């Protein structure tokens, strides 16, 4: 078991308190996302309609957000409305021109004194890079409603709006990486970070999409510069970050995209034979239970690349 200790609990608590105090509008838990990548939209609903309980939550999906899959919510009825996108987008090599345009959770009961979250997964198209995408949301109550639908004009501060629409800022896409196919699986943009001299571990990151109708499982792999290859999961327990190897591999369910990234699921290259250098590529393989072995190359980014792997401590 690898463990990383963080001693900033008081600072984290202060940040959480500040965020809670500022939570008066409907907003997304993660308000920034990279282009050409998957996104988990968690809409935070902080209160009802002037004391009334929220019974329905509606959100409108803007152009640039595709392949939307809402999460069912216990006690609520989930419905969607499909429609045409403003243009055709590329989705794993296939053009798509329509999809979910509205999500509605209805029939529930969220009292004014309580807080809740409404979740969907989607993909942010590459064409949305550099934009801010407003996602209008409406809470409907017994006799009233909270309409978070105001969209800031160019140059206008959205914080000055009375009822601003929740929004997602879309960052520029990460440097392009190769895509690999293995049956219904698509492996996207494998990468790692440069390592300092003497380092014995490095992290591996990528996305795996399963477009088939049956689950598969990542069970192993190799990296040409390492003696060992493991699949790891990182979790927080209080102020302790724990990392453990997934001895049974990582499942990829039908229709699911799993992202291996710093701070969560990731690959570990152990017992490095030499340092990794920025700009090079490292050959390797991924081994799937059903799709078999796939040859890949990891693009090595800068030592200080954003989202770099944490150091393990024994």
Question: What CATH number did the domain enclosing 280 receive?
Answer: 2.60.40.1890
Nearest to 249 by CA among 276, 221, 270: 221
Q: Which of 150, 171, 192 is the last residue of a domain?
A: 171
Compute the distance between CA of residue 182 and CA of residue 204 in angstroms, rounded to an integer.
Answer: 19
The more confidently predicted of residues 311 and 31 is 31
* Mean of per-residue pLDDT scores for the chain: 86
pLDDT of 310: 35
The answer as to whether 1 is a domain residue is: no
pLDDT digits (tens, 9 = 90+) for 40-82: 999 999 999 999 999 999 999 999 999 999 999 999 999 999 9
φ and ψ at 93, to 5 degrees? Answer: 85, 0
The answer to whether residue 158 is domain-embedded is yes
**pTM (two decimals):** 0.54
Predicted pLDDT at 241: 75
Could you list the beta-strand ranges (E) of 46-148. 54-60, 65-70, 77-91, 94-110, 116-124, 132-134, 137-141, 145-148
The total of other beta-carbon atoms located within 10 Å of residue 179's CB is 16
- Please check whether residues 166 and 185 belong to one and the same domain: no
Residue 275 sits at the vertex; the CA angle it makes with 271 and 278, to the nearest 5 degrees, is 135
Cβ contact 276:202 at 8 Å:
yes
* Boundaries of domain holding 31: 24-171
pLDDT at 107: 97
Among all chains, which residue has been given the structure tokens 């809670």? 20
- Spell out the residues 6+ positions from residue 304 whose beta carbon is closer than 8 angstroms to its own: none
Interacting residues of 79 by C-beta distance below 8 A, sequence separation 6+:
103, 104, 106
């Amino acid at each position: 078991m690898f463990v990383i200790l963080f001693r900033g609990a008081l600072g984290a608590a202060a940040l959480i308190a500040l965020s809670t105090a500022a939570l008066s509008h409907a907003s997304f838990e993660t308000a920034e996302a990279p282009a050409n990548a998957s996104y988990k939209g968690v809409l935070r609903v902080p209160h009802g309609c002037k004391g009334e309980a929220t019974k329905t939550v509606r959100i409108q999906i803007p152009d640039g957000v595709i392949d939307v899959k809402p999460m069912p919510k216990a006690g609520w009825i989930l419905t969607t409305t499909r429609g045409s996108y403003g243009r055709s987008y590329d989705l794993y090599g296939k053009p798509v021109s329509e999809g979910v345009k509205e999500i509605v959770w209805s029939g529930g009961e969220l009292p004014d004194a309580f807080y809740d979250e409404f979740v969907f997964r989607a993909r942010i198209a590459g064409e949305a890079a550099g934009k801010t995408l407003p996602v209008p949301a409406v809470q409907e109550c017994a006799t009233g409603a909270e309409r978070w639908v105001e969209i800031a004009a160019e140059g206008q501060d959205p914080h000055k709006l009375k009822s601003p629409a929740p929004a997602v800022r879309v960052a520029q896409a990460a440097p392009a990486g190769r895509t690999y196919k293995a049956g219904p699986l698509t492996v996207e943009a494998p990468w790692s970070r440069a390592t300092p001299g003497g380092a014995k571990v490095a992290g591996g990151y990528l996305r795996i999409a399963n477009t088939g109708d049956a689950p598969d499982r990542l069970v192993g792999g190799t990296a040409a510069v390492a003696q060992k290859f493991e699949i790891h999961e990182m979790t927080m327990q209080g102020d302790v970050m724990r990392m453990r190897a997934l001895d049974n591999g990582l499942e990829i369910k039908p229709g699911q995209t799993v992202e291996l990234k710093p701070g969560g699921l990731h690959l570990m290259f152990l017992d490095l034979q030499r340092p990794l250098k920025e700009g090079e590529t490292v050959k390797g393989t991924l081994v799937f239970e059903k799709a078999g072995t796939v040859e890949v190359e990891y693009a090595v980014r800068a030592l200080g690349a954003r989202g770099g792997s944490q150091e393990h401590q024994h």
